Amino acid sequence: MLLTMDKAPCDTPLVLVALEDSVLAARLARMGLNPGDEIVRLDEEVAPGPVRIKGPAGEVVLAPGMAAKVIAHHDDGHMTPILEMTPGERGHVEGLLCGESLEWGLAVLGLQENDRVEMRHRIPPMEYTVLVDGAPVRLPEGAAAKVWGRQAGRDLQLCMAATGKPFEVLQLLGGERAVALLERNGIVPGKVVVPERVASARIMWRHDRKQIVVESRSGLRLYLRPDQARRIIVRVP
């Protein structure tokens, strides 16, 4: 019986039959996953936090969704999403499992295929208060990581900016949903905002889209958006 991955049963061996997205197919092939290979859809929720990594352009913060879409080839030979790297691990970017907007955003941060990366540490849930036209706006750390701007002549992410100093928004780095959230709060390119406060999050920010977690026989876990999963055809042996 043929199924799309989003309809496939969890914790059951599956055979990858076809991919209805040529770009996704090429990227999975680069990671060693091809039609005929065995995979498993895992029954687990994804609620990770952001990570700080060092790339060619220096240290940057990746929101969980961004870090899940960047596959790192570790120096010891195994592969994982950057999301699953441990502090001190090093490797290079083997591939990306994301759309054009996120791929462009990662390039702004200095992360592209074959670039060297090192995991620095995981970031606990934080809340950023930013003054927009004088009014306070609260952002989770993942959203603050997707605002690229300039402060005191230096280009950096909002989540790494100093408090109390003007920050000019240059670009929004996320996909449509992330950009829409920021725009609704008045954070748009050209706007000057002032980071006011950074504190431990008092609430757990919820992700409004559940990712589908798939594992290959080699142990590589992939975090897929529902629309990506719908383009992957599998069968139950």
Residues 18 and 78 in one domain: no
Helix, strand, coil percentages for the chain (3-state, nearest 5):
20, 40, 40
Residues in a beta bridge with 100: none
Kindly state whether residues 108 and 89 are assigned to the same domain.
yes
Q: Tell me, yes or no, whether 150 lies in a domain.
A: yes
Phi/psi class of residue 168: alpha, beta or left (left: φ > 0; alpha: ψ in -120 to 50)?
A: beta
The pLDDT score that the predictor gives to residue 49 is: 76
The answer to whether residues 59 and 87 touch, using CB atoms and an 8 Å cutoff, is no
Whether residue 228 has pLDDT greater than 50: yes
Verify that 196 and 132 share a domain, yes or no. Answer: yes
Inside any domain, residue 233: no
Q: Do residues 193 and 164 lie in contact, with contact meaning Cβ atoms separated by under 8 Å?
A: no
37 located within any domain = yes
| Total domains present in the chain | 3
Tell me the pTM. 0.79
Q: Could you report the per-residue pLDDT of 8-34, keeping only the tens digit for each?
A: 999 899 999 999 999 899 999 988 899
Contacts of 184-192 with CB under 8 Å at 24 or more apart are 185/132, 185/137, 185/139, 186/132, 186/133, 186/137, 187/130, 187/132, 187/137, 187/147, 191/132, 192/166, 192/167, 192/168
In a domain, 229, yes or no: no
CA distances for 9 relative to 113, 212, 229, angstroms: 32, 11, 13
Q: Which of 122, 148, 182 is the last residue of a domain?
A: 122
Structure tokens at 177: 């949903």
Query: pLDDT, tens digit, for every residue of 173-205?
Result: 977 878 888 999 999 999 999 999 998 765 444
Structural domain includes residue 221: no
Same domain, 82 and 111: yes
pLDDT digits (tens, 9 = 90+) for 113-133: 999 999 999 888 788 999 999
The whole-number pLDDT of residue 82 equals 94
Rounded Cα distance, 181 and 237, in Å: 42
Q: Tell me the residue ranges of DSSP E strands in the chain.
A: 2-4, 13-19, 38-41, 51-55, 58-62, 70-74, 79-81, 90-96, 116-122, 126-132, 135-140, 147-151, 154-157, 167-172, 192-200, 212-216, 221-224, 232-235
Mean pLDDT of the chain: 89
pLDDT at 202: 57
- pLDDT tens per residue across span 79-108: 999 999 999 999 999 999 888 888 888 999
* 25 vs 219, more confident: 25
Q: Can you give the pLDDT at residue 34?
A: 93
- Edge to edge, the sheet with strand 167-172 lists 135-140, 126-132, 192-200, 167-172, 147-151, 154-157
Domain boundary (74, 94, 122) is at: 122
> Pick from 90, 122, 154: which residue ends a domain?
122
**Domain boundaries, position 37:** 2-44
C-alpha 220/C-alpha 94 separation (Å) is 12
Q: Coil, strand, or helix at residue 39?
A: strand
pLDDT grade for 47, boundaries at 50, 70 and 90: low
What pLDDT was estimated at residue 48?
A: 64
**pLDDT at res. 44:** 67
- Do 131 and 68 lie in one domain? The reply is no
pLDDT band, residue 209 (cuts 50/70/90) = low
